[in-house]
Chain A
Amino acid sequence: MTSAPQPVASEDVVLAVRDLTVSLPAGMERAHAVENVSFELRRGQILCIIGESGSGKSVTANAIMGLLPRSIRVSSGAIRLEGMDLVGRSPERLRDLRGRVVSMIFQDPLSALNPLMTVGAQIEEVMAAHGVGTPKSRRGRAMELLIEVGLPDPPLMYHQYPFRLSGGQRQRVMIAMALALEPTILIADEPTTALDVTTQAQILHLIRDIQRRKGMSVMFITHDFGVVAEIADSVVVMEKGHCVEQGSAEQVLKSPSHLYTRRLIAAVPHLTGKDRVPAEAAAPSPVLKVEGLVKTYRSGSALFGRQRIVPAVNGASFDLSPGRTLGVVGESGSGKSSLGRVLIKLLDSDSGSILFEGRDIARLSEAEFRPLRPKIQMIFQDPFASLNPRSTVGQILTVGPIAHGVPHKLACEQARELLAHVGLDAGTFDRYPHEFSGGQRQRIGIARALMFKPKLLIADEAVSALDVSIQAQILKLLDQVQRETGVSMVFITHDLRVASQICDEIAVMHRGQIVEHGPPSQIFLNPKSAYTRELVAAIPGAQQSSARSAGSQSTLAGHSHK
């Protein structure tokens, strides 16, 4: 809207969206999901559409695919696919284009495949749906595709059911399906968001590689400017249903013109590689001293054999000083969340000790530990699921302290003070969680944890469910809280960029073990273990940053400050 795309030779444009407006049913937050959005996707290019949740980026993609839910419809504008307007086409005509001319892959590869069909059958289905080939030729093509997307042992893979595959492998299957009929356009809706950072790097590489080889055009939807820096040729920035800025990737990343773009880029957590200045000098005695902690999961029946034993935490040891933050980073399955749960005794450890203020809490019974519970509090990942929808915010905050003997009136006073402290207004106290946004709810979650004046906070992926701009605010709040109260924090995250922002020290976990432990400067600039190196190299947008200036801020920030 702000900057109209430059007209180009029309044969170069495979997809042109003109003044697209999609209206929402009455009674929603706003009247339009997207309003007057225009952009062009050129042949053989990757266009990134970036925006936060609610920006309308997925709605735009679904409108192009003809996959909008019945209650939402395109009210005006045009979507031209190689000169043909898709708006108002019959469902049958759109169905014919889907999978053949325009393909799509989705965010969550774990749920995007039918659990009851083999991988091969699902790939063949797209060809069968368009009447392409014979059963035999389709089978051959499916094998080719499995090889093309880099899956190991295609004949075996062909007969596998999705549950046997990892997230990255499933996303490769999705890509194989999308490529089966050599579509002109691939729409990728946050295809790497649900993946671990090393897997994300591989999938991004695969998409770019295939796009170049096939000369395909890709519309890539993301919320992550790091991903944009990795693969985009051009960028469209969306905010609240409007297209606020567009241009080449270089132009948008280096000299963003719109205020929102600048804010978004600035909010992206970047690898600082700089060590945090601690709030106070390290006290001699650590608040938490963990030694040789082991947690093993056992499943299945020991009586009848076939027991599965998974070492979730395997000999973890570390110290945490008062007022400091330890980051625990790792990929899914690394044991970082199990470690957090063992520390707060939601899970019992198998061996090792957890010295909290000098006392080994690992061996305490539930009854003995209860008086200590208020001192160790947790901030949860999902701000939507972790607050009881039937309680007011006031009740949520005060129920714990009252249970521990704080007088009702005093608890309410403290709750009101804390709500103001975390940046929420006085009216919050009597309202219900559903009235708040994700970021506000996480503030409530933080206030709830602080009600007990804890010595130790365990934040398990506390900002992972939030948009980057909200993420930045919450990180700032946590930093402020720590400086004011001197609380120690164990900050569990899969996002190394976030960890680099808030942690004094970082422990990298891999398969239950802490493979490296040190200050951010060591972890990010001079990693000792091979796994850490791999992890850091996989961070989207990281290559450019390390090439540029080691120790300074990453590409993104670098771009925006030029």
Chain B
Amino acid sequence: MSGFLLNRLVQSIVLLVIVSIIGFTVLNLMPGGPLAQFGLDPGMSQQDVQRLTAQLGLDRPLWIQYLDWAWRLVRGDWGHSFRDGSSVLAVIGRHLLATLLLMGTSTALAIAAGTWIGIRGATHRYSLFDYCATVGAMVALSVPTFWFGLIGIYIFTLKLGWVPAGNMYTIGDGSVPDYLHHLILPSLVLSLVHVAIWSRYMRTATLDALSQDFVKTARAKGVSERRILLKHVVGNALLPMITLAGMQLPSILTGALVTETVFTWPGMGRLFLDSLGYSDYPVVMGLLIFSAMLVLLGNLIADIVIATVDPRIRLA
């Protein structure tokens, strides 16, 4: 196990370096830049802009800028936002909880509902339920999320008035019921597409497990169908799903660009869009590295979980 972990750590570092180089390069290839917004500002002279450029270190060659940034990162300094000067980690911290709340809720919903729909679809294959689940998943996958968001707001906020249209809490309230009230619509909308994906995978995995010989063995032993499903089928069907869950993990913390924007949710997704708009390079790079680390971490956790639950890997 330790050899495996060491191996993965080396791989992860190499990947992080590659991702950061690509991200840094692409970011700097974009026209404009952090100071472009001052170009038309009559209050800013050419000298002011040049002074600022030098102050931020943007006049140095790109590779020096990268090495400087990377070296600081290694020492734990993620840099400071161009916008308000606060440290990048603090900026991320301010948005992380909001995203965690939204994405955590919607992912939990999606996994619970997707697992149930998938298993039921497989055990009642070609039934009305299965057809509806299949068609529903197709619709959820092919219709863009923002459309669901807008339709949701139209129906449940404007017409029915059940839920608020956006934001995470009512200013001046901020009680737990208030948070939950704001959470309902965005988390449901977000979970739609994940339910679709998860239920399709779960259905396939369950069908696969159901067709295995050991299920027939269990039947021949006189084990009840219910126990066969719980003890023999679901366990084996969930194994391949762990990898999928691992891939889901990063998005729990990096948020959803579109949904957070539609519902003006103060999470990481919106932070990323805003920072891009302001050319706030340190924050954008910080988010990029943060999500790349999460992707690697998610995969690592999935592999470790699989290795723990599957005796073939644990003991091999």
Contacts and interface: CB of A to CB of B under 8 A. Distances in A.
Given A115-B236, A116-B310, A125 B7 contact: no
Contact of A114 (B3, B218, B309, B315): B218
Nearest to A102: B220
B6 interface: yes
A216 to B, nearest CB: 16
A306 B220 contact: no
A354 interface: no
A260 interface: no
B221 A129 contact: yes
Contacts of A303: 7
A112 B214 contact: yes
Contact of B3 (A104, A164, A305): A305
A174 B221 CA distance: 10
Interface stretch (B12-20, B60-68, B222-230): B222-230
B94 interface: no
B217 A174 contact: yes
A304 B223 CA distance: 44
Contacts of A117: 231-232
Interface string B227-263: 1000110011001000000000000000000000000
Nearest to B239: A116
B83 interface: no
A363 to B, nearest CB: 33
Given A163-B311, A163-B312, A164-B315, A129 B223 contact: yes
A217 B311 CA distance: 36
A364 B134 CA distance: 53
Contacts of A96: 222
A497 to B, nearest CB: 27
B222 A97 contact: yes
User: Helix, strand, loop or mixed for chain B's interface?
Assistant: helix
B218 A104 contact: no
B72 interface: no
Given A108-B213, A112-B213, A304 B7 contact: yes
A98 B220 contact: yes
B33 to A, nearest CB: 43
A113 interface: yes
Nearest to A305: B3
A108 B217 CA distance: 11
Contact of B219 (A67, A113, A163, A164): A67
A217 B188 CA distance: 59
Contact of A67 (B220, B227, B310): B220
Interface residues of B, number: 28
Interface in A108-146: 108, 111-117, 125-126, 129-130
Contacts of B239: 116
B5 to A, nearest CB: 10
B227 A129 contact: yes
Contacts of B311: 115-116, 161, 163
B220 A104 contact: yes
B223 A111 contact: no
Given A114-B232, A304-B6, A103 B214 contact: no
Contacts of B224: 95, 129
A95 B310 CA distance: 29
B46 interface: no
Contact of A301 (B3, B310, B315): B3
Interface string B169-212: 00000000000000000000000000000000000000000001
A303 B223 CA distance: 47
Contacts of A97: 222
Nearest to A174: B217
A355 interface: no
B3 A99 contact: no
A455 interface: no
Interface in B1-50: 3-4, 6-7
A112 B216 contact: yes
A396 B255 CA distance: 51
A98 B219 contact: yes
Contact of A125 (B221, B309, B310): B221
Nearest to A67: B219
A470 interface: no
In the complex, which of the residues A96, A114, A125 has the most CB atoms of chain B within 10 Å of its own CB atom?
A114
B221 A306 contact: no
Nearest to B219: A67
A318 interface: no
A410 B255 CA distance: 63
A111 B214 contact: yes
A125 B213 CA distance: 16
Interface string B298-316: 0000000000011110011
A98 B223 CA distance: 8
Contacts of A42: none
B3 A113 contact: no
B213 A111 contact: yes
A303 B231 CA distance: 39
A116 B235 contact: yes
A97 B219 CA distance: 11
Interface in A81-100: 95-100
Contacts of A164: 315
Interface in A426-462: none
Contacts of A384: none
B303 to A, nearest CB: 15
Contacts of B216: 67, 106, 112
A161 B312 CA distance: 8
Given A111-B214, A114-B232, A301-B3, A129 B219 contact: no
Contacts of A112: 213-214, 216-217
A31 to B, nearest CB: 23
Contacts of A98: 219-222
Contacts of B221: 98-99, 103, 125-126, 129, 177
B12 to A, nearest CB: 15
A104 B214 CA distance: 12
A177 B219 CA distance: 12
Given A112-B213, A161-B312, A174-B217, A126 B222 contact: yes
B242 to A, nearest CB: 13
A303 B310 CA distance: 25
Contacts of A115: 214, 236, 310-312
A65 B217 contact: no
Contacts of B236: 114-116
Nearest to B232: A114
Contact of B315 (A130, A161, A305, A306): A161
Nearest to B238: A116
Contacts of A100: 222
Nearest to B310: A116
A496 to B, nearest CB: 28
A250 B92 CA distance: 83
Question: Counting chain A CB atoms within 10 Å of each CB, which of B3, B212, B218 scores highest?
Answer: B218
Contacts of B231: 114, 117, 125
Interface string B67-98: 00000000000000000000000000000000
A115 B309 CA distance: 11
A173 B12 CA distance: 43
B215 to A, nearest CB: 8
Contacts of B213: 106, 108, 111-112
Contacts of A161: 311-312, 315
A236 to B, nearest CB: 21
Interface in A36-50: none
B28 to A, nearest CB: 36
Nearest to A129: B223
Contacts of B212: 111
11 contacts: A98-B220, A113-B217, A114-B232, A116-B236, A125-B218, A125-B221, A161-B315, A177-B217, A303-B7, A304-B3, A304-B4
* 9 cross-chain pairs, A with B, having the tightest CB-CB distances, nearest first: A304-B3, A99-B222, A161-B311, A98-B222, A99-B221, A111-B213, A104-B220, A126-B221, A114-B214
